[in-house]
């Protein structure tokens, strides 16, 4: 039992938790932006797949790592534009469009992958982002090591949270985005295009989701596999609710979920095979549901979420 608790005080555990959280942070921020503007983006799983492939393939084809991140973001934004066009001006069901985008993006990625690499015995590798310890800060026991001995993409993930929070709460643009998700008529009354704000938010959010996917192929690992997103996108949808649509709380949620995940793989080794491994794999999800029940009860969702806005309609 003490061994199980000791794990929580090791630096390697927290380093792993932050590493596992990084792709979730990007994608959760992406989903959060979409939903704050009033659009549920269920294309997240597919858009992450696109980003994972696009970023990795750019580097594999000779681009540098940051170009890869940019390409991933742009390809995510392209799918965001498609999603936004269908759901905002055309007002189609956001559920159906989102799932459609996920299926389309995933299949298109696999198709492109196979056209580009028809005959490979194992997926080619790239040289991924390497850990970049911040001098001084990374020497602080546990917390410093966990936060400041990561790859540049992880630092970017935390920076993204700060930027998203600042833009949403401290800028006129953020006000317009939040209003588009709460009371689009008020946005229109200000002479701002609700459609423009919403499509822009979906594009920006989708770009972040794609970077989250790219983290898996360019930082956590070094090659692209079919199905490697493995449900992480759906987790991020839950994390947005967990965070009550607030960037800071959503960040905490992502780290909490990742910590549960890092904890379960370590606990699995302690029990000597008495407890079935499935119990451990379930644990992060079970604990997240529990946390969701406790934390999200008072959550207030954006009032105009999933409600299409037609100009002039009452």
If the CB atoms of residues 119 and 313 are measured against other proteins, the closer one turns out to be 119
- In angstroms, the CA 153 to CA 274 distance is 38
Task: Work out whether 2 is an interface residue with other proteins (CB under 8 A).
Answer: no
Restricting to residues 240-269, which ones interact with other proteins according to CB under 8 A? 261-262, 265-266, 268-269
As given in the structure block, the two tokens for residue 99 are: 């799932």
Binding mask 273-312 for other proteins (x = CB under 8 A): xx--xx--x-------------------------------
Task: Work out whether 271 is an interface residue with other proteins (CB under 8 A).
Answer: yes
- Interior/surface letters 139-148, b for 16+ CB within 10 angstroms, e for the rest: eeeeebbbbb
Cα–Cα separations (whole angstroms), residue 155 to 75, 121, 204: 22, 34, 19
If the CB atoms of residues 115 and 294 are measured against other proteins, the closer one turns out to be 115
Binding mask 216-235 for other proteins (x = CB under 8 A): x---xxxx-xxxx-x-----
Q: Closest approach of Cβ 293 to other proteins, in Å?
A: 24
- In angstroms, the CA 311 to CA 176 distance is 16
If the CB atoms of residues 221 and 301 are measured against other proteins, the closer one turns out to be 221
Task: Work out whether 85 is an interface residue with other proteins (CB under 8 A).
Answer: no
As given in the structure block, the two tokens for residue 158 are: 């935390």
Q: Closest approach of Cβ 39 to other proteins, in Å?
A: 28
What residues contact 249, with CB distance under 8 A and at least 6 apart? 242, 243, 295
Binding mask 3-22 for other proteins (x = CB under 8 A): -------x-xx--x--xx--
As given in the structure block, the two tokens for residue 143 are: 């917390």
Ordered alpha helix ranges (H), the chain: 2-6, 11-36, 44-60, 65-87, 94-116, 143-148, 152-170, 172-182, 184-189, 194-215, 232-242, 247-268, 277-295
Binding mask 95-124 for other proteins (x = CB under 8 A): ---------------xx--xx--xxxxxx-
Inter-residue contact 127 to 63 (CB < 8 Å): no
Q: Closest approach of Cβ 215 to other proteins, in Å?
A: 9
Binding mask 123-142 for other proteins (x = CB under 8 A): x-x-----------------
- In angstroms, the CA 65 to CA 62 distance is 9
Residues that bind other proteins (CB under 8 A): 10, 12-13, 16, 19-20, 110-111, 114-115, 118-123, 125, 216, 220-223, 225-228, 230, 261-262, 265-266, 268-269, 271-274, 277-278, 281
């Amino acid at each position: 039992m003490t061994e199980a608790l000791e794990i929580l005080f090791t630096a390697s555990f927290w380093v792993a938790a932050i590493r596992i959280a990084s792709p979730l942070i990007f994608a959760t921020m992406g989903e959060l932006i979409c939903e704050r503007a009033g659009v549920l983006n269920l294309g997240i799983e597919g858009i992450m797949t696109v980003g994972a492939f696009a970023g990795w393939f750019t580097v594999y084809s000779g681009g540098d790592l940051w170009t890869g991140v940019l390409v991933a973001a742009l390809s995510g934004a392209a799918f965001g534009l498609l999603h936004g066009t269908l759901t905002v001006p055309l007002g189609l069901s956001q559920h159906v469009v989102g799932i459609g985008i996920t299926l389309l993006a995933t299949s298109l990625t696999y198709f492109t992958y196979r056209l580009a690499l028809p005959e490979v015995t194992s997926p080619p590798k790239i040289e991924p982002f390497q850990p970049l310890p911040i001098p001084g800060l990374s020497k602080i026991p546990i917390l410093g090591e966990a936060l400041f001995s990561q790859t540049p993409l992880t630092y970017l993930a935390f920076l993204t949270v700060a930027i998203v929070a600042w833009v949403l709460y401290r800028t006129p643009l953020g006000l317009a985005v939040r209003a588009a998700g709460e009371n689009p008529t008020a946005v229109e009354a200000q002479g701002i295009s609700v459609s423009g704000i919403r499509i822009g938010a979906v594009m920006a959010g989708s770009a972040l989701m794609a970077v989250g996917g790219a983290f898996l192929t360019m930082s956590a690992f070094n090659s692209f596999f079919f199905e490697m997103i493995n449900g992480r996108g759906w987790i991020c949808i839950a994390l947005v609710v967990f965070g009550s649509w607030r960037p800071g709380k959503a960040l905490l949620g992502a780290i909490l979920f990742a910590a549960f995940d890092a904890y379960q793989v370590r606990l699995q080794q302690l029990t000597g095979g008495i407890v079935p491994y499935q119990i451990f794999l379930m644990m992060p999800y079970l604990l997240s549901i529990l946390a969701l029940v406790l934390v999200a009860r008072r959550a207030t969702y954006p009032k105009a979420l999933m409600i299409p806005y037609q100009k002039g309609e009452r």
